[in-house]
């Protein structure tokens, strides 16, 4: 794969990136151009709509129907704890949902979307908007209450530093990474995910995504502490989160001596099911770990999870149901966020190995599905979000079959990675 890519890059460079071989017809990338143009217009309209209010778009408010939830979860209504579920105000259903505060775990994605749209097109207005929304998160550099500071700050300030580097941004990232490292327990070998709930020391598969902040700060500082902690966390998670078929539990809680207290779910169908986004976080996280460590244990894990995902998907368009074990019925919601995270991960995975074509092909299928009318919003609709049809937390009655900012984030990231692999740039589409 690597050799093929190198060959394509060389030939494409000689041909002005026109195509891999002059004998082949030029590939039709109109779907890609439409995806980027739609994304940019949606983001620009949202920026205009939000104006100078300190608000970060997150999703669209949805309600839920109890019978529907019970059918999806195959549970008796009497087993529900009503207090756990989000109860949207009826009048708000269908309107734009903003992050509750800058400390919401999704607060970094909207600024990140603007950075990615800027990277894709070079449009200066997007860069200015990205910087403005990123700066709203400045106080988060001192926040220590969740592992999600990795998502929040790497997607906003991390992209800011990549695309418009500044010493002041680097110190923000270092401070955040130090706070994330303070959540690492050496007896357990993991970073603690949550500070709420019934668990002694909860670690969720999503935590694999926060490691990229540590890898990035390792590169910025050359201090091995960040990478060592990240890789130890990945190693412990590999040992305890996965089942024989490489699907993963959502939550593993540890006792203080490092033994496992319990394994369960918080957002999946049931404790033993395979929550779709969790599997996506896993393949993405282990791909990052291999990129940074070149440890083949992590590569094999990434491939195993990717193969499991490709085997378990039940839909023709490859966009997974919200849980791989959800009932296979027409009304079961799909999760575009899981698809966009998987697409982004598999494109990167394909570039790290010789035999990566199968992963690139699958990612391309996901991207084409997401870029179709079934998932990509029409300009001016969908409250300004790019993709429709994600699921946040079905068991908690939250964000069911709705756009969500992180689906858009990983979609844009996947588009960027796809264009890099294909040697494309926006202006030549
Ligand atoms: N990290 C929370 C989620 O994936 O919903």
Q: What is the pLDDT of residues 142-184, one digit of tens each?
A: 999 999 999 999 999 999 999 999 999 999 999 999 999 999 9
**Ligand 1 atom nearest to CA at 278:** 4
**Ligand 1 atom nearest to CA at 206:** 1
Q: Does residue 44 register a pLDDT over 50?
A: yes
Q: How many CB atoms neighbour CB 327 within 10 A?
A: 13
Q: Does residue 50 register a pLDDT over 90?
A: yes
DSSP code of 428?
G
Q: How far is the CA of 424 from the centre of ligand 1 (A)?
A: 32
DSSP code of 370?
H
Distance CA 397, CA 175 (A): 35
Supply the residues annotated as catalytic.
148, 206
Q: How far is the CA of 306 from the centre of ligand 1 (A)?
A: 19
Class of domain 36-428: mainly alpha
The predicted pLDDT at position 35 comes to 98
Q: How far is the CA of 393 from the centre of ligand 1 (A)?
A: 8
N- to C-terminal Cα separation, the chain: 24
Confidence band for 5, pLDDT divided at 50, 70 and 90: very low
The predicted pLDDT at position 87 comes to 72
Confidence band for 136, pLDDT divided at 50, 70 and 90: very high
Q: Would you say 97 and 61 are in contact if contact means Cβ atoms under 8 Å apart?
A: yes
pTM of the model: 0.94
Q: Which of 97, 202, 206, 397 to mutate to test the pocket of ligand 1 (most atoms within 8 A of CB)?
A: 206
Distance CA 198, CA 190 (A): 18
Distance CA 111, CA 365 (A): 27
Q: Does residue 82 register a pLDDT over 80?
A: no
pLDDT digits (tens, 9 = 90+) for 348-405: 999 999 999 999 999 999 999 999 999 999 999 999 999 999 999 999 889 999 999 9
Instruction: Tell me if 303 CB under 6 Å of ligand 1.
Output: no
Q: How far is the CA of 418 from the centre of ligand 1 (A)?
A: 24
Distance CA 54, CA 375 (A): 28
- Specify the residue with its C-alpha closest to ligand 1, atom 5: 392
Instruction: Tell me if 389 CB under 6 Å of ligand 1.
Output: no
**Ligand 1 atom nearest to CA at 209:** 1
pLDDT digits (tens, 9 = 90+) for 186-229: 999 999 999 999 999 999 999 999 999 999 999 999 999 999 99
17: left (phi over 0), alpha (psi -120 to 50) or beta: left
Q: How far is the CA of 421 from the centre of ligand 1 (A)?
A: 28
Element containing residue 118 per DSSP (H, E)? helix 109-121
The predicted pLDDT at position 160 comes to 98
Quick one: how far is CA 32 from the chain centroid? Answer: 20
Instruction: Tell me if 147 CB under 6 Å of ligand 1.
Output: no
Instruction: Tell me if 58 CB under 6 Å of ligand 1.
Output: no
**Ligand 1 atom nearest to CA at 337:** 4
Q: How far is the CA of 392 from the centre of ligand 1 (A)?
A: 7
Confidence band for 78, pLDDT divided at 50, 70 and 90: confident
Q: Which of 146, 277, 399 to mutate to test the pocket of ligand 1 (most atoms within 8 A of CB)?
A: 277
Instruction: Tell me if 44 CB under 6 Å of ligand 1.
Output: no
Q: Does residue 18 register a pLDDT over 60?
A: no
Beta bridge partners of 34: none
Instruction: Tell me if 277 CB under 6 Å of ligand 1.
Output: yes
pLDDT digits (tens, 9 = 90+) for 233-263: 999 999 999 999 999 999 999 999 999 999 9
Q: Which of 211, 267, 338 to mutate to test the pocket of ligand 1 (most atoms within 8 A of CB)?
A: 267
pLDDT digits (tens, 9 = 90+) for 265-277: 999 999 999 999 9
Q: How far is the CA of 204 from the centre of ligand 1 (A)?
A: 9
Domain layout of the chain by residue ranges: 36-428
Q: Which residues contact 385 (CB under 8 A, 6 or more apart)?
A: 42, 46, 57, 59, 60, 377, 403, 404, 405, 407, 408
- Measured CA angle at 147 (ends 339, 367), to 5 deg: 15
Tokens found for residue 33: 């151009």
Question: In degrees to the nearest 10, what's the CA dihedral of 77, 82, 86, 88?
Answer: 90
């Amino acid at each position: 794969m690597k050799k093929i890519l190198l060959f394509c890059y060389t030939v494409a460079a000689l041909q002005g990136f026109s195509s891999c071989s002059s004998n082949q017809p030029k590939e039709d990338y109109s779907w890609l151009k439409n995806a980027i143009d739609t994304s940019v217009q949606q983001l620009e309209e949202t920026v205009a709509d939000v104006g100078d209010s300190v608000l970060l778009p997150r999703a669209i408010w949805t309600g839920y129907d109890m019978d529907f939830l019970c059918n999806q979860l195959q549970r008796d209504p009497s087993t529900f704890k009503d207090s756990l579920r989000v109860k949207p105000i009826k009048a708000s259903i269908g309107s734009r949902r903003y992050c509750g505060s800058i400390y919401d775990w999704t607060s970094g994605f909207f600024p990140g979307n603007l950075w990615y749209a800027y990277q894709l097109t070079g449009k200066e207005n997007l860069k200015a908007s990205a910087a403005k929304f990123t700066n709203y998160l400045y106080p988060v550099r001192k926040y220590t209450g969740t592992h999600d500071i990795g998502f929040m700050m790497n997607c906003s300030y991390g992209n800011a530093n990549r695309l418009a580097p500044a010493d002041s941004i680097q110190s923000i990232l270092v401070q955040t990474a130090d706070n994330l490292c303070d959540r690492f327990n050496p007896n357990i070998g993991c970073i603690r995910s949550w500070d709420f709930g019934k668990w002694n020391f909860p670690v969720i598969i999503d935590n694999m995504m926060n490691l990229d902040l540590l890898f990035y700060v390792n590169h910025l500082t050359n201090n091995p502490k960040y990478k060592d902690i990240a890789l130890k966390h990945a190693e412990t998670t590999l040992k305890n989160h996965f089942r024989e078929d490489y699907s993963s539990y959502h939550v593993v809680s540890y006792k203080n001596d490092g033994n496992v207290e319990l394994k369960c779910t918080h957002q999946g169908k049931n404790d033993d099911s395979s929550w779709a986004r969790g599997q996506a976080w896993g393949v993405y996280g282990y791909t990052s770990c291999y990129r940074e460590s070149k440890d083949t244990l992590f590569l094999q894990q990434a491939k195993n999870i990717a193969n499991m995902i490709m085997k378990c998907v039940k839909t023709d368009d490859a966009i997974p149901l919200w849980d791989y074990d959800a009932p296979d019925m027409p009304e079961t919601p799909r999760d575009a966020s899981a698809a966009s995270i998987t697409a982004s991960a598999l494109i990167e995975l394909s570039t790290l190995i010789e035999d990566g074509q199968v992963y690139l092909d699958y990612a391309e299928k996901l991207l084409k599905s997401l870029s179709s009318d079934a998932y990509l919003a029409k300009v001016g609709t969908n409250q300004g979000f790019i993709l429709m049809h994600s699921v946040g937390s079905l068991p908690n009655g939250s964000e069911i079959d709705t756009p969500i900012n992180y689906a858009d984030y990983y979609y844009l990231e996947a588009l960027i990675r796809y264009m890099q692999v294909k040697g494309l740039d926006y202006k030549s589409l």
